[in-house]
Structure 1
Amino acid sequence: MIGQADVLLSVQLSQLAAERGVTTAEATPSPEVLLHSVTVFGDLARVAGDLQSQAVAAAQESGLSWAKIGSALGTSRQAAQQRFDSRRSTPVAETEATRILGPVSRAEEIDQINAAGRQGWKLARSLHGEHVLERSEGCWEALRVSVLSPRALPSAAEGWEAASTRFPDCFYVRRLS
């Protein structure tokens, strides 16, 4: 049985899909529109899965046990650990165009990302304890905003662009003049 919260979430996700181009004025959507909706919902599922993994990592790093995390997921401790243990993930390799910043604490990460940004490195991906930077033209500054705070997200009108997420944080970057 689907609960009211699930129905509301389904409506919100359907509205998000519509914002991503899954709309039609026709009473019966065309096969092309339906196929595009399959793609959009696949993207939403992939991103939601990534965010869930990040939330699990944040919960585990805050000291919560795998048993509590597994219980929240409706699974066993062992299943949760096998699925989400960050030590099982494939490490990112450095190249001439890619640099790994870390290990770095949350308290010092923005200062270090901004120092690298002044040297032409742009934030591309954020993990717990490290960040992936890519070589870029120009200099960059970064800003971290928690999605759990009431603070407004940075504005594109002020030059900010979303760079990465690491639950519960969103990282934004903008080119320095």
Structure 2
Amino acid sequence: MSDAPQLSPEEEARIREGIASAVLGASEGLAASLEHDPEGYLRLVAATRTGAEETSRLLREAVQGARAAGHSWDVIGRLLGVSRQAAQQRFAPKGTTVPEGSPERRVLTPLTAFNEMAALAEAGLEGWELVEFGPLYHAVVASGRQWEYRRVPFAVAGRRRRMEADGWTEVGTGSFPWSYYKRPLTDAPAKDDHAPAQGA
């Protein structure tokens, strides 16, 4: 891929307007308070800080998703307006070296919301345990036993306690709009020693 895709000016304007609208609408009456209340500007700073933190997190996840989908640091750097090296230094996962003797690791990619659960189900039966996920990918390690997986809406009150009571363990801390859970199916060994399918 020689040229990094660009958004149209209209698409960029919609994103900017959406973010500004979300920040101004986050706190009840914030926009109106700016006409008469000096404290409103401090609430605006707090709301904007939260928006900046969230957009920074989304950018990191988007870059990780692009890498998982096979895009080069060179293309990503051009989209970000920085060099390949600068993009890699800023966004490459830290501490990704695998210690000696660690279980075999595979990355299921590219995945979408529509095929990831089928890919995880197949991998689980083959003895792959989910340990990490991000946009368009799930990372699994060889475990020798079968696993089952569940995807549930991110912030349903009381869901985590109920899942844990049923033997499920949350993987990571969730990623809007989903949380992912795993539990061993049985003590039966994995179906075979083949690597899980890449995608579905």
TM-score, structure 2 normalization = 0.47
The 2-side partners of 1:57 and 1:37 are apart by 30
Pick from 41, 61, 64: which aligns with 1:57? Answer: 64
In the alignment, is the contact (CA less than 8 A) between 1:23 and 1:33 conserved in 2?
yes
Q: What is aligned with 2:174?
A: 164
1:9-158 aligned within 5 A: 9-21=15-27, 23-26=30-33, 28-88=35-95, 105=108, 107-108=119-120, 127=134, 129=138, 142-143=151-152
Q: Return the letter of the residue paired with 2:56.
A: G
Deviation at 1:11, TM superposition (A): 2.4
Alpha-carbon deviations, 1:12-53, whole Å to 9, x = none?
222212331062545714121111111111111111111111
The 1-side partners of 2:63 and 2:20 are apart by 25
In the alignment, is the contact (CA less than 8 A) between 1:57 and 1:84 conserved in 2?
yes
Q: What is aligned with 1:148?
A: none
The 2-side partners of 1:29 and 1:9 are apart by 28
Alpha-carbon deviations, 1:48-85, whole Å to 9, x = none?
11111111111112211111111111111100000000
TM-score, structure 1 normalization = 0.53
Query: Which secondary structure does the structure 2 equivalent of 1:142 belong to?
Result: strand
Query: Which secondary structure does the structure 1 equivalent of 2:94 belong to?
Result: helix
The 2-side partners of 1:25 and 1:12 are apart by 18
The 1-side partners of 2:174 and 2:80 are apart by 25
Give the alignment's Cα RMSD to 1 decimal.
Answer: 4.1
**Structure 1 runs not aligned, ≥5 long:** 90-101, 113-124, 132-140, 145-153
In the alignment, is the contact (CA less than 8 A) between 2:24 and 2:47 conserved in 1?
no
The 2-side partners of 1:88 and 1:143 are apart by 29
Q: Return the letter of the residue paired with 1:62.
A: A
The 2-side partners of 1:19 and 1:27 are apart by 12
The 1-side partners of 2:58 and 2:175 are apart by 8
Query: Which secondary structure does the structure 2 equivalent of 1:32 belong to?
Result: helix
The 1-side partners of 2:48 and 2:70 are apart by 33
Report % sequence identity: 24
Structure possessing the higher radius of gyration over alpha carbons: 2
In the alignment, is the contact (CA less than 8 A) between 1:70 and 1:80 conserved in 2?
yes
